[in-house]
Amino acid sequence: MIALGSDHGGFELKESVKLLLKERGIPFEDLGTNDGNSVDYPDFGEKVARKVSLGEAEKGVLVCGTGIGMSIVANKFPGVRAALVADVYMAKMAKQHNNANILVLGGRVIDENEASEMVATWLDTQFEGGRHQGRLDKIAALEKELYR
């Protein structure tokens, strides 16, 4: 299951990501926001990142105006590897090298077609493991040290 969240700046793009997931038959849970009225991105970033951190969602997609605020929030959560991507290459690397479990998009930065391509690429790419797993292990060790 993929958890989805946005603020008002990412609302429209989140809706377009839902269409892609529906087309592909991928289960998702939309945790809001549900319209274009102004809200605070930490409130929605938290909902998605908490679910991914607890293993209640396998992956997440977060969208705000730039993607920056959502990235900052999501990466506070242990086990979350949230990647803000601005093109298809970054989306591919986010999975292949970083095994990102949350993809973050900027609703005021990219259009719906670009977002679809990026989400599809992230979903279809495999994590390469090997030396990249070693790097992720170092991040996990840092989390243990910092948050225990």
Please, which residue, 38 or 113, has the CB nearer to ligand RB5? 38
Q: Which residue from 11, 28, 41, 44 is in contact with ligand RB5, where contact means CB under 6 A? A: 41
**Closest distance to ligand RB5 from the beta carbon of 56 (Å):** 24
Stretch that binds ligand RB5, among 17-25, 52-60, 66-74, 113-121 (CB under 6 A): 66-74
Q: Is 62 within 8 Å of 105 (Cβ atoms)?
A: yes
Q: Tell me the C-alpha distance between 116 and 91, whole Å.
A: 11
Q: Is 74 within 8 Å of 60 (Cβ atoms)?
A: yes
- Which is the catalytic residue, given 76, 92, 97, 132? 97
HSE, CB side, 13 Å, CA atoms: give it for residue 38.
Answer: 0
Under the binding rule (CB under 6 A), the answer on residue 65 touching ligand RB5 is: yes
- The contact set with ligand RB5 (CB under 6 A) reads 7, 9, 41, 64-66, 68-69
Catalytic residues: 64, 97
